[in-house]
Structure formats: C-alpha cells, structure tokens
C-alpha cells in the first residue's frame, strides 16, 4: 500500500531519489513468513521505511543527492541498516536531501527539490526533507535522517511529524557519509512518539566500528511511553524566542508551555546566554570539518570522474563540475577558516564558543530536567524564496544548531498549525544520554 501510494503521488512530492520496490517486496515476503510462524514478533517486522540517501546501503545507490556520488553503490551497510535488517524491516528506498546534507530546504539537491506534502509550493525543510516528506505523505511508515545542525528536527517540524536527534555518540555513524563528523548524528523521523521510541530501541547502542560511539547501556525507550510530567522541571530559554520569530510559532510554543503547566509540570525560566554565538560557531566548525571530509572526492577513490590533461586537472575538473554551489561555498569557508593565518582568529575562536554554548546547557541542566523551545523561527517557506540568500538560510538554524554543538539530544514534535495551514513544531531538549525523559515528555504532550 505504501508502494502504490508512492507510485501514484510521489511524482508531485518527489521525496525519493531511488526506489527499491523489488527488494522491498522480497523483504515484505520474508517478513510475512516470519509473522506467520511466530506469535511474538518485533514491532518493526515488515514495517516499511525510507532511508536518507547519505546512509550507506549495500548494493543500493547512495548519492548524498550529489552528482559526485551519482553512481556510487556502497559495498557495505551502515550499522543502522544492519540493525534494521536484523529486525526484518522493509526498506522502500533512499530519500532526497540537500547535497551532502548542506542546507535546510532540500533545494540544494543536485537532482530535484522535494515539495512539502502539506502545500506543494513550500519546502519540506532539510536537509532530511525527503525523509520528512515521505513519512508525512504516507510514502513510508518511518524514516531515518541525519542531523548535523537541525536536519532531522527542522524538516520534521515543517512536515508535521516527529523527529529525534539522539545524543552525539548514541547511534553509530558507521556508514553515514560524513558532513561534519563532530556534529553528525543519525535519528528517526516518525509519525508519532511511539514509533520514535521503537526505532530508537533498534538503532541506539555502542558500535566498535565508530570510535565516537558511546559505550553506555541503552534503556528500553518504550518504557518511557507513559503520560507523566507531574513535577517535571521544564526550562524555557528566553534566548530562543528571538526578535525575528514568527508570531504564530511563538504563540503555539507558548500554548504548549501552558499545557505542560496544566498537566503538572513546573515551568522554570532559564538563560542560555551564548545562544547568540551558536550560528557563527556552527558555520565555521561545520564547513571546516566538511572541507576535510570532502577532500576524499578527488575523482580517484569514489564516484564520478571528469577527465583532464593530467591528474591535477582531472581532480579540478571533477570537483568543479560535480560539486554544487552550496558545497563549494562551504569548502571555501572551511579552507579559509583552517588556513594558517586565520586558524586562531576563526576556527579556534569557534571552538571556544562551542565550549561556552555547552557550558550554558550544563548550568541549565543543574536546575531543570528538560528544556522546551521553538524548533525553527518560522514555518515552512515557499520554494525558491530564500535559496539565493545563504546568510538568511543559515540564520534559520538558530534554534537547532546549539544542540549539535553541545552534543545533546532533542526531539521535534508538532504543536500547532499556522493560519496558512502549515505545521508548527517545538523542540524538547534533554541531558546527554537522557532520550528517555525526552520521549516521556513528548509522549505526554502528544
């Protein structure tokens, strides 16, 4: 039924880059047999989902929505794919994204933009816009995305679904094509918090193949599917309600705060004073790491090659033709920030700001259990409306990047609908490795 729906409607939404219908039918057949033979089966057995196209799938193209990897077929699965396969899930295909996960609207895909299922003239958010649109439109029951500066949470809120960025190191990054390695994290995009808990149960956990993976026990997140926020201390950071924030977004989040109060939570005003530096720090650190990570695309080891007279011109031609504008912009910024004369002035300063941002959260979490904030300053915007203004695009990430800098987990969940009929999302932020409390808080509100 997901495949039929996709066939008839994804032409308009354009959420998938690659559809794996044959493999999906085979996996579904296998799942059916398992279901027929066992009375006790896992929640995810036979449940069809979609995978962002920067997560390696053995034998299936993994393009990162880039011409550079247009023909790249990984010889191995990411750890998260192995874990999902072990549960006999069904993978329907690979979803569209901003090229190499750089962007917030899925307009930076080298192939085509994805449309928001709520209104096809609007962006679905990004960079995991294909995953969010697929779940929202009913082309998949669940999806995986990656979040480096908001790329799971922001598209989830633009498409009216649930998206979780786990604690840095909670989910293995092995097989995730690296954008900014110290910030990247894989997580679920789902229709509700229950599905989020089930996917987290499968994908979380230590992995020896990822040296930054945390060796800590993983609780059963479905135990957090209880409605209980009595006495829970919820911090509200004034700095997240910025001047440029859409009034309807602020009103919807404020209404959620009132609802939590009515359910018995204790609302505590907190301050995260270095939030204002987060965008600047992020847009130095992420491009710096991207510059290094993307140096491997040289026409030799992976993907595409454009011939030249000698090896240097071959590499130059390959990179000039196969990387898109935004990717090139970030490579330039990253190289500039890392160059010998500017390292202290930019990259080192950004690292110091990152520490200050993290310390804000350490102090706040001494007083509260979770933090509630807007997820993005606006709802989804029209396709084409700000894509030519990179600075404005970057400023959209004001509410999401601080968590990546601090390594903290956060969930985005729907909290209203704007007068234009577009979903509004809010964000619940937790202590490191405390996804369980986030899930409980979100489940109570849902």
Distance CA 377, CA 248 (A): 10
Provide, rounded to whole angstroms, the least separation between the CB of residue 279 and ligand GLN.
10
**Closer to ligand GLN by Cβ: residue 104 or 205:** 104
Selected range binding ligand GLN among 2-10, 144-152, 305-313, 358-366, rule: CB under 6 A: 144-152
What is the pattern of x (binds ligand GLN, CB under 6 A) and - over residues 164-183?
A: ---------------x----
Cα angle vertex 162, ends 278, 197, to 5°?
105
Provide, rounded to whole angstroms, the least separation between the CB of residue 247 and ligand GLN.
23
Residues in 335-354 that interact with ligand GLN by CB under 6 A:
none
102 sits near ligand GLN (criterion: CB under 6 A): yes
237 sits near ligand GLN (criterion: CB under 6 A): no
Give the three-state DSSP class for 142: strand
Q: Count CB neighbours of 264 within 10 A.
A: 12
Residues 103, 169, 299, 423: which binds ligand GLN (CB under 6 A)? 103
**Closer to ligand GLN by Cβ: residue 196 or 234:** 196
The residues, any chain, with a CB within 8 Å of residue 266's CB and separated by 6 or more, are 231, 232, 233, 234
Distance CA 32, CA 24 (A): 12
Provide, rounded to whole angstroms, the least separation between the CB of residue 179 and ligand GLN.
6
Selected range binding ligand GLN among 61-69, 75-83, 146-154, 332-340, rule: CB under 6 A: 146-154
Do the Cβ atoms of 304 and 71 come closer than 8 Å?
yes
**Closer to ligand GLN by Cβ: residue 93 or 103:** 103
Q: Which of 127, 128, 157, 172 is catalytic?
A: 127
Distance CA 297, CA 301 (A): 7
CA distances for 233 relative to 1, 164, 240, 409, 425, angstroms: 43, 20, 18, 17, 21
Q: Which of 151, 157, 172, 213 is catalytic?
A: 151
151 sits near ligand GLN (criterion: CB under 6 A): yes
Residues 57, 60, 77, 127: which binds ligand GLN (CB under 6 A)? 127
Residues in 387-416 that interact with ligand GLN by CB under 6 A:
397
Distance CA 2, CA 27 (A): 14
Give the three-state DSSP class for 164: strand
Residues 148, 172, 412, 444: which binds ligand GLN (CB under 6 A)? 148
**Closer to ligand GLN by Cβ: residue 24 or 288:** 288
149 sits near ligand GLN (criterion: CB under 6 A): yes
Distance CA 327, CA 54 (A): 15
Selected range binding ligand GLN among 100-108, 129-137, 303-311, 417-425, rule: CB under 6 A: 100-108
Do the Cβ atoms of 342 and 350 come closer than 8 Å?
no
Provide, rounded to whole angstroms, the least separation between the CB of residue 151 and ligand GLN.
3
Residues in 41-70 that interact with ligand GLN by CB under 6 A:
none
Residues in 283-312 that interact with ligand GLN by CB under 6 A:
286
Peptide bond into 127 cis (omega under 30): yes
Distance CA 186, CA 54 (A): 10
Provide, rounded to whole angstroms, the least separation between the CB of residue 25 and ligand GLN.
31
| 418 carries an active-site annotation | no
> By CB under 6 A, how many residues form the interface with ligand GLN?
13
Do the Cβ atoms of 187 and 169 come closer than 8 Å?
no
150 sits near ligand GLN (criterion: CB under 6 A): yes
| 127 carries an active-site annotation | yes
Selected range binding ligand GLN among 45-53, 142-150, 351-359, 406-414, rule: CB under 6 A: 142-150
**Closer to ligand GLN by Cβ: residue 100 or 118:** 100
| 8 carries an active-site annotation | no
* Burial status of residue 22 (CB atoms within 10 A of its CB: 0-12, 13-18, 19 or more): exposed
Three-state DSSP string of 179-197: CCCCCCCEEEEECCHHHHH
Residues 104, 299, 407, 416: which binds ligand GLN (CB under 6 A)? 104
CA distances for 78 relative to 64, 65, 129, 325, angstroms: 14, 17, 20, 28
Greatest pairwise CA separation for the chain in angstroms:
71
**Closer to ligand GLN by Cβ: residue 289 or 360:** 289
Distance CA 218, CA 202 (A): 10
Q: Which of 52, 83, 94, 431 is catalytic?
A: 52
Contact residues for ligand GLN, defined by CB under 6 A: 101-104, 127, 147-151, 179, 286, 397
Which residues are the active-site residues? 52, 127, 151
């Amino acid at each position: 039924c997901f495949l039929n729906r996709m066939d008839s409607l994804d032409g308009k939404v354009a959420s998938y880059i690659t559809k794996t219908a044959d493999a999906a039918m085979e996996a579904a057949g296998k799942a059916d047999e398992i279901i027929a033979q066992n009375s006790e089966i896992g929640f995810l057995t036979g449940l069809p989902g979609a995978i962002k196209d920067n997560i390696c799938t053995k034998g299936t193209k993994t393009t990162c929505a880039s011409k550079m990897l247009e023909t790249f077929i990984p010889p191995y699965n990411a750890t998260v794919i192995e874990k999902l396969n072990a549960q006999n899930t069904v993978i329907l295909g690979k979803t569209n994204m901003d090229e190499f996960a750089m962007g917030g609207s899925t307009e930076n895909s080298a192939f085509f933009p994805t449309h928001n299922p709520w209104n096809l003239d609007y962006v679905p958010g990004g960079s995991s816009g294909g995953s969010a649109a697929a779940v929202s439109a009913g082309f998949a029951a669940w999806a995986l995305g990656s979040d480096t500066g908001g790329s799971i949470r922001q598209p989830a809120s633009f498409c009216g679904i649930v998206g979780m960025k786990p604690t840095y190191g909670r989910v293995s990054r092995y097989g995730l094509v690296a954008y900014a390695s110290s910030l990247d994290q894989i997580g679920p995009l789902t229709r509700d918090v229950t599905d989020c808990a089930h996917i987290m149960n499968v994908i979380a956990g230590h992995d020896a193949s990822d040296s930054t993976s945390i060796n800590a026990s993983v609780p059963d997140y479905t135990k957090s599917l209880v409605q209980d926020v009595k006495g829970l201390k919820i911090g509200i950071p004034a700095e997240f309600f910025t001047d440029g924030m859409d009034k309807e977004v602020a009103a919807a989040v404020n209404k959620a705060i009132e609802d939590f109060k009515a359910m018995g939570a204790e609302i505590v005003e907190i301050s995260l004073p270095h939030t204002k530096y987060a965008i600047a720090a992020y847009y130095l650190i992420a491009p710096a790491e991207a510059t290094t990570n993307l140096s491997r695309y040289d026409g030799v080891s992976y993907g595409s090659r454009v011939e030249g007279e000698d090896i240097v011109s071959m590499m130059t031609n390959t990179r000039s033709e196969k990387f898109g504008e935004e990717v090139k912009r970030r490579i330039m910024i990253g190289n500039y920030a890392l160059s010998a004369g500017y390292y202290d002035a930019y990259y080192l300063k950004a690292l110091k700001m990152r520490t200050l941002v993290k310390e804000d959260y350490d102090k706040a979490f001494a007083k509260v259990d979770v933090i509630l904030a807007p997820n993005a300053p606006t709802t989804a915007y029209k396709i084409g409306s700000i894509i030519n203004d990179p600075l404005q695009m970057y400023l959209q990430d004001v509410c999401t990047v601080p968590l990546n800098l601090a390594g903290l987990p956060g969930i985005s969940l729907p909290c209203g609908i704007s007068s234009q009929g577009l979903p509004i999302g809010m964000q619940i932020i937790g202590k490191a490795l405390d996804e369980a409390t986030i899930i409980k808080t979100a489940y109570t509100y849902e």
